[in-house]
Chains A and B, each alone.
Chain A
Amino acid sequence: KQEVTQIPAALSVPEGENLVLNCSFTDSAIYNLQWFRQDPGKGLTSLLLIQSSQREQTSGRLNASLDKSSGRSTLYIAASQPGDSATYLCAVSEGDSGYSTLTFGKGTMLLVSP
């Protein structure tokens, strides 16, 4: 059974810092790995999707890397802002019989203070 672990569970940083969120997974047979953002009381929004054949993806100040063989991914946030405060969830996509499902980590709660 796939297990996804995120470290740290919570992180508090001052505005402007660069930071790294970590995600690890136990089964490397994945279609892709995704990073989501969840604001309090809201649903999830996809930030970055890294296909299993890719090493990284970038969107603005966000960069996500994937090392499938070691079962690890990192989300790098550059020059953090208070608006980045949210919970960040890592999820891996896997499956067979023609469709896939997502297995989520428990998330990293990020607080960026002004």
Chain B
Amino acid sequence: DAGITQSPRYKITETGRQVTLMCHQTWSHSYMFWYRQDLGHGLRLIYYSAAADITDKGEVPDGYVVSRSKTENFPLTLESATRSQTSVYFCASSPAGTSAVDTQYFGPGTRLTVL
């Protein structure tokens, strides 16, 4: 039972380069989310997706692009990386969107450094 995985786990890139972070879940959860975690800010939602081909912006979407062609995958792309995007990125999934009982299941995170 692989659950939710992220790749790569660590990435160093340079300013201006395009970077794609991968997220894969094996539960067939409808909802998937991308967060970034920064010291002093906590976890902030970047984008989320309710189903394949349905995505929406979160709190801090600028500079990021997402797609969801398959239910199990939710890649996050930094089109032109900036130093301010240095962060730890977490992917999460949830079986249903609105529910008093649903939680989100988190991947192990990707630590991205932009030089």
Q: Which residues of A contact B (CB under 8 A)?
A: 31-32, 34, 36, 41-46, 49, 51-53, 89, 91, 93, 95, 98-107
Question: Which single member of B43, B48, B58, B103 contacts A46 (CB below 8 Å)?
Answer: B103
B98 on the interface (CB 8 Å rule)? yes
B97 on the interface (CB 8 Å rule)? yes
Closest residue of chain B to A96, judged by CB? B98
B45 lies within 8 A of A101 (CB): yes
Closest Cβ of chain B to A78, distance in Å, is 23
Spot the interface stretch: B14-22, B71-79, B104-112: B104-112
Closest Cβ of chain A to B108, distance in Å, is 5
> Given A43-B90, A43-B109, A100–B42 Cβ distance below 8 Å?
no
**CA–CA, A99 to B83, complex, Å?**
32
Question: Which single member of A34, A51, A89 contacts B43 (CB below 8 Å)?
Answer: A89
**CA–CA, A105 to B104, complex, Å?**
15
> Given A95-B98, A99-B31, A107–B48 Cβ distance below 8 Å?
no
B: contact size bracket:
20 to 34
A31 lies within 8 A of B108 (CB): no
A98 lies within 8 A of B43 (CB): no
10 contacts between A and B (CB under 8 A): A42-B108, A43-B109, A44-B90, A44-B92, A49-B101, A89-B42, A99-B97, A99-B98, A100-B97, A106-B41
Please give, as numbers and ranges, the residues of chain A lying within 8 Å of B45 by CB-CB distance. 101-103
Q: Which residues of B contact A (CB under 8 A)?
A: 31, 33, 40-45, 48, 50, 58, 90, 92, 97-109
Closest Cβ of chain B to A90, distance in Å, is 10
**CA–CA, A44 to B48, complex, Å?**
17
Closest residue of chain B to A51, judged by CB? B100
Closest Cβ of chain A to B68, distance in Å, is 14
B50 lies within 8 A of A43 (CB): no
Q: Kindly list 13 other residue pairs between chains A and B, CB separation below 8 angstroms, not including A42-B109, A46-B105, A91-B43.
A: A31-B98, A32-B100, A34-B103, A36-B106, A43-B108, A44-B43, A49-B101, A95-B97, A98-B50, A99-B50, A100-B99, A101-B45, A104-B44
